[in-house]
Amino acid sequence: MARLSPLEWPVLRQLRSGDSLGRGPAVTSPTTRAVRPRNATADRVVQSICPYCAVGCGQLVYVKDEKVIDIEGDPNSPISRGRLCPKGSASEQLVNAPGRQKQVLYRAPKAKDWQHLDLDTAIDMIADRFIESRRNGWQELDDQGRKLRRTMGIASLGGATLDNEENYLIKKLFTAAGAIQIENQARI
Amino acid sequence: MANADCIVLQGGNMAEAHPVGFQWVSEAKARGARVIHVDPRFTRTGAIADRHIAIRAGSDVVLLGALINHVLSNDLWFKEYVLAYTNAATLVSEDFRDTEELGGLFSGFDPATGQYDLQSWAYAEAGGDGGVGSPSGQAGEHGSSKSDRAAGDEHGSGGPSLEHAEVLRDETLQDPRTVFQVLKRHYARYTPQMVQELCGISEDDFTYLADSITQNSGRDRTTVFGYATGWTQHTLGAQFIRSAAILQLLLGNVGRPGSGIMALRGHASIQGSTDIPTLFNLLPGYLPMPKVGVHDSFEDYLEGIASKRQKGYWTHADAYTISLLKAWWGEHATADNDWCFDYLPRLSGPHGTYQTTVGMLADEVEGYFVLGQNPAVGSANGRQQRLAMSHLKWLVVRDLSLIESATWWKEGPEIDSGELRTEDIDTEVFFMPAATHVEKAGSFTQTQRLLQWRHKALAPPGEAQSELDFFFKLGQRIRAKLADSTDERDRPLLELTWDYPVDGHGDPDPEAVLAEINGRFVSGPDAGKPLSFYGQMATDGSTAGGCWIYTGVYADGVNQAARRVPGGGPSPSQHEWGWAWPADRRILYNRASADPDGKPWSERKKYIWWDEDQGKWVGDDVPDFPEDRAPGARPDPNIGGPEALAGDDPFIMQADGKGWLYAPKGLVDGPLPTHYEPWESPVANSLYPQQQSPTRVVFAREDNLGAPSAGTRGDEVYPYVFTTYRLTEHHTAGGMSRWLPYLSELQPEMFCEISPALAAERGLENNGWATIISPRAAIEAKVLVTDRVKTLTINGRAVHQVGLPYHWGVGTHAVVSGDAANDLVGVALDPNTQIQESKAGSCDIVAGRRPRGQALLDLVADYQRRAGATVDTDNVPRVTDPEAETVTPRPDGEVSGEDGFSRW
Amino acid sequence: MGQLSGPTDPTADAHWHTHEERKGFFTDTSICIGCKACEVACKEWNHNPRDGDLDLTGMSYDNTVSLGASTWRHVAFVEQDRARIEEARESGRVLVSLGMPQVRSERDVTTSVTDLSGGDLSGVDTTPPDTPEFRWLMASDVCKHCTHAGCLDVCPTGALFRTEFGTVVVQDDVCNGCGTCVAGCPFGVVERRSDGTAAPTTREGQKKGEQPPIPNKGVAQKCTLCYDRLVDGQTPACAKTCPTTSIKFGDHEDLVTEAKARVAQLHAQGMTEARLYGANELDGVGGTGSVFLLLDEPEVYGLPPDPRVCTADLMTMYKRAAMAAAGMVAAAAVAFLGRGGRGA
Amino acid sequence: MSTSEYDSLRPPEPPRRRRRGGGGGRRRRPFGTGDGNREMLMVPDVEPTSYYGRPVVKPAPWGEDVAAYLFLGGLAGGSGLLGAGAQLSNRPKLRRNARLGALAAVAVGGAALVRDLGRPERFYNMLRTFKVTSPMSVGSWILSAFSAGIGVAAASEIDRMTGEKLPLGKLRPVLRAVEGPAGFEAAAFATPLAAYTAVLLADTATPTWNAMHKDLPFVFVSSASLAAGGLGMVTTPVEEAGPARRMALLGVAGDVTAMRLMEQRMDPVAAEPLHHGKAGTMLKWSERLAVAGGVGTLVGGRWRPAAVASGLALMAASALTRFGVFEAGLHSAKDPRYTIEPQKRRLAERRAAGITDDSITTV
């Protein structure tokens, strides 16, 4: 404070403004006088929906320098009117969680620990295993000779936290592959 | 909900599970509505309700049945509504025998398979032959009227098929075979005394509840019920909901503002994931997956969904199915190859997650994708889940952080107990980092069927990617690897339409997927244009669309789910925010909000009404009814389809246009909700000799033993009832909450909630440790001693309940961890929905922490031995009173009922 | 010079020339569902670190224990049986019978009820409810933003100041962590965030769950009523997120009016246990900026029953100190004027 | 099964003491017996309720550095006064020792204060404003003014002691010229320095401190007097130390009287912490040492060894008074009873007297 100008010394400002008790503007710091809310500095604000429960509360996502700096309720949503529950209020932390895993990990059979795998290799390996297990578990006909055309070698669990479009692609791919053991939290 | 005059929250803890949704309850309450909370625990919902009524977990049908009885015997039902809009007057087949006569069973039970033959439950026929519309003997539909045909889930947007809509009715309701009279007899034994005995609810509380709902129903007023997993997670979960539906229909509380039964769902897109299902038994839009032996031909399949002669919109299932197949296989789907119908794999029974688990343990399943879910913590019988995963060849876990389902091989409880050794586990595990909701665009469907689009805010970090991106690329990779294959079985994969436009990173455009779901004209003058409602879907292959109920979400090439007019616009139905299926209707069956003559029941509850001048239905919402069908219209019911709907048939997805008080089809465990005790219960069923649901799905295995029920040897070993639930501060199995410091600090440790009486009985202290033992596992938890958990007097005996939140799991990566309540839960399923019973089980509780290592296994085994629990306990003898059984088994090897009402 | 007690306009007292309406909260605990969204939204907005040791406290559903350096909204949970409920109802009745200035006639009550609910009242249940067997109180506590703020007045550096909105805010860049404000607050709101050198009073977590470096260590911390948001015309994070509007934000004057109407409404419904806290400008802190509707005595929620800002007695203290100092001078004079002790 | 290693760690003794030393960790002190929750649920409310026995107010985050400063500040103030007296009455040894003692006390005390700050590097912000409502601010200015004067005066003494070895150059005459006025300047701030710390403690919501607000200044100036007197007796030959002895004696008389009076006039509940625990012990010994030192001064003050012993006893007594009062206050802040009971009583008294419009609780 004093660095700016000795005249800005709050004691002098107190004298000038008559704020003898030093309560108000006489004692503010330059930082305080320049305060702005973080969300007002965002590069963009994106409308979104809370990922937790099925109420579907509206969210506003504030992005600055390609980082989420704030997530708040969207007051325009007729569903939630800008309000969020504790989980919804924590969703900025969900995105920026300290414990979030951002790399692909692979655990080999019998291995005691993870190793890193690059994304492309991982997808390739999964595709190989998908094809093989599909073949291994294939059932063309049932014991009465009726068509089954399916595989019991692959199963999937999940979807209730996913988008409709994602569920659609999963169902489409699995069904085309003949995999029928697809389930999600709708039943759990 | 904000428009209701009375709100009954039962089997759901809305304030805790859906705080933001609860604002509408708060608002209604501030307006003067009465809020009643019926729950085993005094929860945060109870804290601001007008009254909390403590109920024993699993006894809801007794209470609801008694309310139905109260309404019927005191003549409190809404006469005009019930007569006009429900099947009260419809006659039931002469062959139908109720539980009154059969010791708690309905007619048609086969003790050998544990299933019902539904034929005798049908409506009476003019010809008197009994079957649900079987005018011509045993053709098609009727040849397979076994219980596995009854697929509640497949009727997520309507009722099951009837052969035709011509039913016998007695408008005076005097005929003893009318649904009304059947109902009256069935619920006669559900008395307030029985409620006191089995639910532990005083007569005073019962009267309060009964008066509240009846005084707040009718022309001027409405009552709404809200439920959650407290109802679904039982062996008769679907029947819990059915009984509320019956009550609501009798009171005229369906299809009107501030009425109905609200499912309060726990996941962002749980509705969406049943509409566009990642479920084994469904195709998008509640079309069933074909079943071997039933749907061997395309004709059989279509006939099985809906008869062309029944009423309502399901009669166009052929157009929906063909459009779906066209969307998937494009030009390869032609009339000649039945639109690639044979590319669809066939089911032969239930293939739910618990059957799949058994398949893993039997080494039949090699690979497993776990997508944003945490079965090691969140699925019933967690130990069985983890052991099953150790049998896999490979496992792909896609999540935001290293959840317990990704780390069980090195830090799961079985490593600690010595059952598994990391170096012996052959499973390959891929952990694929997922994108959060802000790092991808897409739509969620919320609990009231509203689709809302999320815009992408930024790119996912590191190697994280969305499921859309992952599966698109996986599909591309698989197709590339199989490109040269000539194998017949690879053709569905190779001919699949998998050519979505991509961005610079090769990621598919989610809007393009939404456009495919919406559907488009493939040929004809409008070729390439998006469909705008499902009525445009054709049977000649000129349209393609991935999910008929979502048609319209991309009408005019505009992403309707992305509509964001502040507040939803001026209309009370808030139409301009997102998009609701079907066809953007906000209240289903809203024709019922007007009286049979098309006038609003009252000015106060005005919503949709018939405008004589315009000759159409008008009001605050899109009418969920043929727009120009006059109230007095009485078309020939036999013409079938929507055209057959009379002007007073508001339930347009039901085969007879009426609300079903009695379900001649659609449920595999009875046409009327009937109380059975949970699989594990320290209480004897005083209503019927039949103790448990006879059709419950059980897994008689060493790793899924059940506790002896009341009255059998060893029932004192697991003397207490436990119930599992969630807390506001956490999310399901914790994958999205236990990794967040701000949420973790709010509920940092696993705990159990018990009454002071139980604490005294077992020497437990507040904030001390307790070990809870079930026939599956033993876990430890901190203790909260609280009056919020009541010791109830059931059948004159004190029944203690142990409350267990289920958010914690054993691992080292989360901010907070702890034992998983689901390890205690046994796998016993509702035959309709395949949902497990996690809301009521038997346990013991003792002071102190649980033992570690082998000693833990010994403890569980010791309890099992003392209780005499074996794979036979309460698993094999399904029928408690065999001589009550009168039905001849049908020699048919089909496996029992899959599917159902799963709305969770 | 500004006032040290009694009714006043705190903004004018602080010599603000730009005049904003005094802002505040009205926390209606009768509709709180204890979801703790306010706690989380507050932490998230202010980037406060996680608090506590991640151990269960056994205090019902309260695991954050109290307001503190990193918890600026705190939800209290209190479980009570019938006897205690009856006492609370009785103590509320006593308040009415004391003839407090705010008691209104039956007629006013009805009017205010109507105002509040906006119409449709056909279903209002005006019969007094039976005393329930059990109740579970939840209340979101926060800094009171007192009219006479002890913390502010005892702060030696000017780090604490009165904003143009009448709220009290710590300037993180000024505070040197002397801790006087901590002792100066009659509500136990302010706390110095642990810096590891002074005796730690902040429950800084020890368990795993890494967090980013803790900001503002060693500095006094408390609710700012989201000063940064207020200057931009935004609602404070807690009030914005509150699902049931238990936390209301607005002009202080309006909120007090609303609070009085609400308590009257509850009394009309027979809930005589309802009472306001902080809505009286004649009280020991000149009224609070954050007003609460409570359903029991304040101490049940951990609030002081009769707080009095310490500086209200400051002039007495200085007078007594001056007398003492004078005494000391006199004593010294006596000592030197007395005999002996001077050389030989 | 029913026992485990943790069972022995369960309540009634709070198990998590291990977490962190001192005042850290969650203070889980039960209010009455048993834990808070059960008390809420099952024990009828015979005593006033609290929120799970949690404190209502927070104790100042002050460590023993601050208690030490209370003592040293008083010592410095008293010594400054003695120094000025010696200056006036021409007692060079007493003057020198008092000045040096004051400087040492004020330097160590000031350092202790800075060390106790959450952000010591920002100590200079203490002079950022002048706030009459803040005893800490007022005190900072007093401390600065006093230090300036006593610093100059003491520097001159040091220069003399070292045989004018300090590299002062032309400044030496200036120093000599201002030395006297500086000593008086310091003396002008000496009694405020000794007295303001009482206001510093009293001007808080800490129940025991606040309840002392009328009388604590008298205790503290007395304590400062006896400490400074004691220091004079220790450092100064008996022949020059007469005023120190008399000041000590007056201090002892004042201290004992003021303390007793104060306790009587305080709210009885708020006074409790003065008699219990660590604080009680310290205050008991403080009184004993003060009396002993006083008697010693009176009887053997002219015999150097007895004077030294008495002086030490008096300084110890003063230190114990400060530490005791300090500790009692912190204790009172940690138990809700000391906040709630006096407040409820005074509220009830006002209501009984017909004053019903000034409660924070209204309808």
CATH code of residue D147 = 1.20.1630.10
Confirm whether D91 is domain-assigned: yes
Nearest by CB to C1, from A20, A28, A37: name it.
A20
Confirm whether D360 is domain-assigned: no
B461: contact with A, CB 8 A cutoff: yes
- On the question of a cis peptide bond just before residue B582, with omega within 30 degrees of 0, the verdict is yes
Confirm whether D8 is domain-assigned: no
Residue whose tokens read 């007469």: D242
Q: Which residue has the higher pLDDT, B433 or B264?
A: B433
Contact: B454, A47; criterion CB under 8 Å: yes
Domain with CATH 3.40.228.10 in chain B: 6-85+184-263
**Is residue B604 scored above 60 in pLDDT?**
yes
Q: Whole-angstrom Cα distance, residue C325 to residue C334?
A: 14
Write b or e for each residue in D138-177: b if 16 or more Cβ atoms lie within 10 A of its Cβ, otherwise e.
Answer: bbbbbbebbbebbbbbbbbbebeeeeeebeeeeeeeebee
Instruction: Identify the band that residue B900 occupies on the pLDDT scale cut at 50, 70 and 90.
Output: very low
Q: Which residue of D has its CA nearest to A21?
A: D131
**Is residue D40 scored above 60 in pLDDT?**
no
What value does the mean pLDDT of chain B take? Answer: 88
Residues of chain C neighbouring A10 (CB-CB closer than 8 A)? 158
Per domain, the residue ranges of chain C are 10-312
pLDDT attached to residue A34 = 96
Residue-range definition of the domain harbouring residue D240: 65-326
Confirm whether D9 is domain-assigned: no
pLDDT attached to residue B381 = 95
Q: How far is B29 from chain C (nearest CA, A)?
A: 9
Alpha helices in B552-620 (DSSP H): none
Instruction: Identify the band that residue D9 occupies on the pLDDT scale cut at 50, 70 and 90.
Output: very low
Q: Which residue of C has its CA nearest to A41?
A: C232
pLDDT above 90 covers a percentage of chain B that reads 68
- Average the pLDDT over B41-46 and give the result: 92
CA of residue A45 relative to chain centroid, distance: 16
Contact: B426, A110; criterion CB under 8 Å: yes
ipTM entry: 0.90
H/E element holding B51? Answer: strand B51-54
**Is residue D33 scored above 90 in pLDDT?**
no
Contact: B756, D11; criterion CB under 8 Å: no
What value does the mean pLDDT of chain D take? Answer: 88
The 10s digit of each residue's pLDDT in C64-75 is: 999 999 999 999
Q: Which residue has the higher pLDDT, B259 or D149?
A: D149
Contact: A185, B270; criterion CB under 8 Å: yes
User: Which residues of C are documented as binding site?
Assistant: 32, 35, 38, 42, 143, 146, 151, 155, 175, 178, 181, 185, 223, 226, 238, 242
Instruction: Identify the band that residue C208 occupies on the pLDDT scale cut at 50, 70 and 90.
Output: very low
Instruction: Identify the band that residue D5 occupies on the pLDDT scale cut at 50, 70 and 90.
Output: very low
Contact: B328, A176; criterion CB under 8 Å: yes
Q: Which residue of B has its CA nearest to D5?
A: B849
C175: contact with A, CB 8 A cutoff: no
**Is residue B164 scored above 80 in pLDDT?**
no
D4: contact with B, CB 8 A cutoff: yes
The phi and psi torsions of C289 (rounded to 5 degrees) equal: -70, -30
> DSSP assignment, residue B145?
-
- CB within 8 A of D305, min separation 6: which ones? none
Contact: C318, D51; criterion CB under 8 Å: no
- CB within 8 A of B563, min separation 6: which ones? B576, B577, B578, B579
User: Which residues of C are documented as binding site for [4Fe-4S] cluster?
Assistant: 32, 35, 38, 42, 143, 146, 151, 155, 175, 178, 181, 185, 223, 226, 238, 242
Q: Which residue of D has its CA nearest to B858?
A: D1
- Average the pLDDT over D84-98 and give the result: 95
Which of 522-551 (B) contact A at CB < 8 A?
546-547, 550
Q: Which residue has the higher pLDDT, B278 or D261?
A: D261
Confirm whether D313 is domain-assigned: yes
Q: Which of B770-774, C195-199, D270-274 has the lowest mean pLDDT?
A: C195-199
- Average the pLDDT over D331-351 and give the result: 95
> DSSP assignment, residue A43?
S
- Average the pLDDT over B275-299 and give the result: 92
pLDDT attached to residue B89 = 94
Q: How crowded is the C-beta side of B535, counted as CA atoms within 13 Å? A: 8
Q: Which residue has the higher pLDDT, D168 or D201?
A: D201
Q: Which of A1-10, B315-324, C249-258, D274-283 has the lowest mean pLDDT?
A: A1-10
Number of domains in chain D: 1
pLDDT attached to residue C288 = 97
Two tokens, residue B68: 């139905």
pLDDT attached to residue A4 = 61
Cβ burial, residue B337 (10 Å; 0-12/13-18/19+): middle
**3-class DSSP state of D239:** coil
Sketch out chain A's domains with CATH numbers. Answer: 1-35 (no CATH), 38-95 (2.20.25.90), 101-127 (no CATH), 137-187 (no CATH)
Q: How far is A72 from chain B (nearest CA, A)?
A: 12
**Is residue C127 scored above 60 in pLDDT?**
no
Nearest by CB to B446, from A56, A67, A103: name it.
A56
What's the pTM value of the predicted model, to 2 decimals? 0.91
CATH code linked to domain B6-85+184-263:
3.40.228.10
Two tokens, residue B420: 């598994």
Confirm whether D54 is domain-assigned: no
Domain with CATH 2.40.40.20 in chain B: 697-884
Instruction: Identify the band that residue C45 occupies on the pLDDT scale cut at 50, 70 and 90.
Output: very high
The 10s digit of each residue's pLDDT in D129-157 is: 999 999 999 999 999 999 999 999 999 99
- Asked if residue D129 lies in contact with residue C158, where contact means CB atoms within 8 angstroms, the answer is yes
**Is residue C195 scored above 60 in pLDDT?**
no
CATH T-level topology, domain C10-312:
Alpha-Beta Plaits (3.30.70)
C32: contact with D, CB 8 A cutoff: no
Instruction: Identify the band that residue C115 occupies on the pLDDT scale cut at 50, 70 and 90.
Output: very low
Q: Whole-angstrom Cα distance, residue B186 to residue B522?
A: 53
Count chain A–chain D contacts defined by CB atoms under 8 A: 23
**Is residue B125 scored above 60 in pLDDT?**
yes
Contact: C241, A89; criterion CB under 8 Å: yes
Contact: A84, C243; criterion CB under 8 Å: yes
- Please give the full DSSP string across B536-569, using - where no structure is assigned: G--SSS-EE-S-GGGTTTTGGG--GGG-B-GGG-
pLDDT attached to residue A54 = 87
Two tokens, residue B185: 């007899």
Contact: D61, C179; criterion CB under 8 Å: yes
Q: Which residue of C has its CA nearest to A62?
A: C45
Nearest by CB to B731, from A61, A87, A171: name it.
A87
Two tokens, residue D262: 């104060």
Can you state the angle between helices A164-177 and B510-518, rounded to 10 degrees? 70
Residues of chain D neighbouring B765 (CB-CB closer than 8 A)? 10-11, 35, 38
- Average the pLDDT over C98-124 and give the result: 43
Q: Whole-angstrom Cα distance, residue D241 to residue D82?
A: 10
CA of residue B902 relative to chain centroid, distance: 2
- Asked if residue B776 lies in contact with residue B383, where contact means CB atoms within 8 angstroms, the answer is yes
Nearest by CB to C63, from B47, B745, B788: name it.
B745
pLDDT attached to residue C107 = 40
pLDDT attached to residue C165 = 97
User: Does domain B697-884 match CATH 1.20.1250.20?
Assistant: no
Q: How far is B738 from chain C (nearest CA, A)?
A: 10
pLDDT attached to residue A186 = 60
Q: How crowded is the C-beta side of A80, counted as CA atoms within 13 Å? A: 33
Q: Which residue of C has its CA nearest to D207?
A: C186
Write b or e for each residue in D330-362: b if 16 or more Cβ atoms lie within 10 A of its Cβ, otherwise e.
Answer: bbbbbbbbbbbbbbbbebeeeeeeeebebbbbb
Contact: C153, D131; criterion CB under 8 Å: yes
